[in-house]
Chain A
């Protein structure tokens, strides 16, 4: 029963996030590249999406700081990580190149997949391949390391 509630609330989060991406135009790679193309004809939309998201996010997370338990009754324990290292920066560079090439980050990729677009299918398969390489490399390096799951 608790699992079912967990899955349903997670499903709602995914649906809401996806609808937000579609409404904001961020599921359209042309809008994203329009923002990234700062030296060409510039479309500021992505900045406003971030603004709207950060407004609600900042207020929401601040309010959650006072919560000891989640809505489903678990202990509130949001992960914190403050390490700034080469992995963070190198990974972000790779991500930035891929994002600039396609105009698609992982969320919109899943939305395009759900909309039945070939581009979404190809992009998500390639993304999974990249992640599989990472997981295998990490598993070979640290076979016994346990992540928080």
Chain B
């Protein structure tokens, strides 16, 4: 294993810790204000559930939370330029990947935020199993796409 020092600069490391702390603070804030878990896939998924079941209960806070996420780049760009983004796959990869993430996070009842940040912070064994499983699977997927199939991913 060799470290990518061009990407992992001291500034990037500091930004990662501070940004991570902000993510943790957002999760604690949501729990403190309304006793909710800041799990993004669960919040989107519940909205889809409510639409399918034609219910409207507890729709508002979920929509507001997601709106905050969507608006965050606009708020950021008020005082700084948005950092550059490099895509890792084309449209086909995004479609297949997006569908798998949608299905998978619903069956697993959580993603990187719900299981990763909230669950692990609460010492949930269930979340630890989920995080271990999706981390290893994602690492294997990247290995296959980058080093076996090559190129595309």
Task: Given A19-B75, A127-B44, verify A111-B121 contact (CB < 8 Å).
Answer: no
Q: Which range holds the interface residue count of chain A?
A: 35 or more
A-B pairs with CB below 8 Å: how many? 506
Tell me whether chain A's interface is mostly helix, strand or loop, or mixed.
helix
B residues with a Cβ closer than 8 A to A are 1-4, 7-8, 12-13, 15-38, 40-41, 44-46, 48-53, 55, 57-58, 60-76, 82-89, 91, 93-109, 111-113, 115-118, 120-122, 124-126, 129-131, 133-143, 145-147, 153
**What would 20 A/B residue contacts be, using CB atoms closer than 8 Å?**
A13-B27, A36-B142, A40-B147, A42-B4, A53-B20, A55-B20, A60-B24, A60-B121, A87-B108, A98-B96, A99-B101, A99-B134, A100-B142, A104-B101, A107-B112, A122-B98, A128-B44, A129-B99, A134-B102, A149-B58
Of the listed residues B60, B83, B101, B120, the one surrounded by the most CB atoms of chain A closer than 10 A to its CB is B101
Complex Cα–Cα for A72 and B11 (A): 37
A residues with a Cβ closer than 8 A to B are 3, 6-31, 33-34, 36-46, 48-58, 60-61, 64, 67, 70-72, 74-84, 87-107, 109-115, 117, 119, 122-136, 138-139, 147, 149
